[in-house]
Structure 1
């Protein structure tokens, strides 16, 4: 009888093991973020390497580790790592600056470490003086997989500074929550700007570590500089996995819904349509005061730390409520949902004003956001989503082939 129990127990363990392995098979719609371990969380792989070195870190509020989401800088200090300065991107190191807001140099009140701003301060990369007392740089920012999300620009500029000053860059890789998506026109480099610096599609389908390899491999740094990079990859990660971020990546991407809608909805920054800035559900709604044919409405207001002067402030906007939109449909189609742009343009009564607008100096025109002048012209001409997407296919095909060389994950 005891033998039978032993056999049964072994069978249960085997079944559990098989089920565990089955859970690692990636299918659209599966929630598998619990199995993922970010590069930063794997401290055993890089702590010995940092010991005894003077460390500089580019970090923000997404740079967290452990079950309690403790900031990486705070954690490394407690573990005896000598951090000499921290660099902050858009929104600042502690994330208390609004989108596009000037971020000044300061001293971190929690740690006493000097904070060097790389956004809105006139400085886009660490200077030679900044790098003089640093032995190694660390990059740990959560990206969301879009060309116009500025973390990849911060990475490239940091790579440039490291290459110029002969410093190694340690990249603690994190999953791309939109990693399944590769779509949109390839940037026309004539439209290069702060929201589009590289010839990649709107949704690039790369992690930060993979993107760094692409920057080196394609020679995108000035004068074809090469940065000495070391990457701590994400464990148990696949590009087709769903990944729920432990903390919001920026003030206006405050829900998983907004993060997954962002690759499509950010294009509306180049139109008269609000994406909900000035509400507590940005990038989950669309609207304008002149779209009175829609029953859903919202009113943008000034919200400190999110949007002090949002588009259509204190005016009722009518349009689409996408807070409960089935984002699994986006995952399944693996496409930007440009049908919303077509719908909003058709519904808006003053067509000549729809694109003749930019919502902020930082975001720029629809041409810079889309990365091409053709997109605006195609919407105005009444092309269907499929017809527009067909014009992207040659560029996307070439990009996907090039992308294969730099992948760290399936």
Structure 2
């Protein structure tokens, strides 16, 4: 029996999926009451790593690749005698010691003695060179994404897949739930606005797991050339959020410490594009605390008066320890999600931006000659609409057509139940 058949046979009884070309596959079933949620890593480990037997593996991972006892994928594989040719660390590094926009560099992992390659900002060519140097024949990806287009791990996935296709390597994704569910929302990335925080034509909140994204990438962007295999989650559907099931949470980056942070991030992450407001980096509630030295309670009062669904706004004062306004007192709001199913992170942040633009202190952040908010949102449309005095409805209504097109485009790649898919 071929290895692809072995993987399918080993996992078929629990809903595992093994496929190439990113084509349509079986949808996951809704979790029966009380069923334990299992990630792709959990299920491959329970199978004794059979899909990797006799292979030299390269592992693309960070600290989120853990089982429910918080044992790391690489540590378990290494202890169990799986042949590992190299580890490839994304932004923040394999062990997670680097801040935003940083990495750990290439070196030797102290715990396992394995070579760790610095893969942050690596091009497809660089990925191919690293895979060749490591002598690997199968790439294993296990990183917890949080569902926003401007979170960089989804480009680590894409570039490493493209390099694997070039070299004819197997690519195995160990899937994990999307912590903010399966709903897609927001504007589409457009030509001329791609950057390191938005390289592919996805909507701002893509609403897919990394396994579903891998299928989408292979089918839509990589011509079906990736020898792609998935080990799906069991017991999860895309209507559930992190914290509602028994899956351990590991902060996927230093400024996303909790599931609450992940929930607001696709929206309040846009405040990185505002020079007059801190997005809460350097506080204990990043992306939930938003404010600046030139603001006061009146901004928060106006935002609260919008009556946005599923959220309340607490008047807040904070002093960041690093990043924007380090050591300065900032006034603004704390975003308090009170109903996760009703809450819309992007619409909420748009309302906050619309009201903030009315303040004299407000300034968009310029990155050279480009506005950072344009790179985050995928075009100049959100910025120019708000500058022209547009309402929340004006801003969010402008992307309805492109969102519907994306919903239809992604549908055949989805693996787990969700509303409206």
Q: Could you say which TM-score interval applies, normalised by the shorter chain?
A: 0.7 to 0.9
Partners of 2:269 and 2:229 in 1: how far apart? 32
Are residues 216 and 47 of structure 1, via their aligned partners in 2, closer, same or farther at CA, if it must alter by over 3 Å? same
SS at match of 2:192: helix
Alignment of 1:35-114 (within 5 A): 35-42=36-43, 43-45=45-47, 47-65=49-67, 67-114=68-115
What residue is the counterpart of 1:355 in the other structure?
364
Counterpart Cα distance in 1 of 2:345 and 2:168:
40
Q: Is the 8 A contact 1:180 1:240 kept in 2?
A: yes
CA contact (8 A) 1:287 1:319 kept: yes
State the partner residue of 1:6.
none
Tell whether the 8 Å contact from 1:182 to 1:334 is kept in structure 2 after alignment: no
CA distance, structure 2, for counterparts of residue 83 and residue 242 of structure 1? 33
Distance 2:90 2:175 in 1: 17
Query: Cα–Cα, structure 1 residues 51 and 23, in superposed 2: closer, same or farther, change >3 Å?
Result: closer
Specify the alignment match of 2:321 in structure 1.
301
- Aligned match of 1:175: 177
Cα gap change, 1:248/1:196 in structure 2, threshold over 3 Å: closer, same or farther? same
Alpha-carbon deviation of 1:181?
2.8
Counterparts of 1:278 and 1:22, CA distance in 2:
39
Report what 1:319 is aligned to. 332
Q: Please name the residue that 2:236 is paired with.
A: 237
Residues in 2 aligned to 1:129 and 1:207: alpha-carbon distance in whole angstroms: 26
- Unmatched tracts of structure 1, length 5 or more: 1-20, 26-31, 303-309
Please report how far the alpha carbon of residue 124 of structure 1 lies from its aligned counterpart in structure 2 after TM superposition.
Answer: 7.5
Contact 1:330-1:336 at 8 Å conserved across structures: no
Give the alignment partner of residue 357 of structure 2, picking from 322, 328, 345: 345
Residues 1:197 and 2:199 aligned together = yes
Cα RMSD of the aligned pairs, angstroms, is 2.4
Residue 243 (structure 1) shift: 2.1
Question: CA separation of 1:217/1:120 partners in 2, compared to 1, >3 Å: closer, same or farther?
Answer: closer
Mapping 1:264-279, distance limit 5 Å: 264-272=267-275, 273-279=277-283
Q: In the alignment, which residue of structure 1 is the partner of 2:347?
A: 336
TM-score for both structures, normalised by structure 2: 0.81
Q: Which has the higher contact order (CA 8 A, sep 6+)?
A: 2
Q: How does 1:150-161 map to 2 (within 5 A)?
A: 150-161=152-163
Alignment of 1:354-373 (within 5 A): 354-358=363-367, 365-373=372-380
Residue 136 and residue 373 in structure 1: after superposition, are their counterparts in 2 closer, same or farther (change >3 A)?
same
Unaligned runs of 5+ in 2: 1-28, 299-314
**Partners of 1:23 and 1:123 in 2: how far apart?**
38
Would you say the 8 A contact 2:268–2:345 is kept in 1?
no
1:190 is displaced (CA, Å) by 1.5
The TM-score, its normalising length taken from structure 1, stands at: 0.83
Q: Quick one: structure 1 residues 160 and 23, their matched pair in 2 at CA, closer, same or farther if it must change by over 3 Å?
A: closer
Query: Which residue of the other structure, out of 399, 412, 415, is the alignment partner of 1:408?
Result: 415
> Any idea what SS the aligned residue of 2:60 has?
strand
Cα distance, 1:269 vs structure 2: 0.4
Q: In structure 1, how many angstroms separate the alpha carbons of the residues matched to 2:365 and 2:270?
A: 14
Once the two structures are superposed, residues 327-363 of structure 1 have per-residue CA deviations (whole angstroms, 9 ceiling, x without a partner) of: 52544x58631211212222x3134xx11435xx9x9
Q: Is this contact kept in 2: 1:125–1:154, CA < 8 A?
A: no
Question: Does the 8 Å contact 2:293/2:331 carry over to 1?
Answer: yes
Q: Distance in 2 between matches of 1:342 and 1:232?
A: 43
The aligned length equals: 364
Alpha-carbon distance in structure 1 between the residues aligned to 2:161 and 2:212: 13
2:383 to 371, 376, 385: 376
Question: Offset of 1:216 from its aligned partner?
Answer: 1.1
In 2, are the aligned partners of 1:277 and 1:283 still within 8 Å (CA)?
yes
**Aligned counterparts of 1:23 and 1:166: Cα–Cα separation in 2:** 36
1:12 maps to none
2:125 counterpart of 1:116: no
What is the match of residue 226 of structure 1? Answer: 225
Change in CA separation of 1:139 and 1:283 when aligned onto 2, cut-off 3 Å = same
* Corresponding residue of 1:281: 285
User: Using a 3 Å threshold, how does the CA distance of structure 1 residues 24 and 349 change in structure 2: closer, same or farther?
Assistant: farther
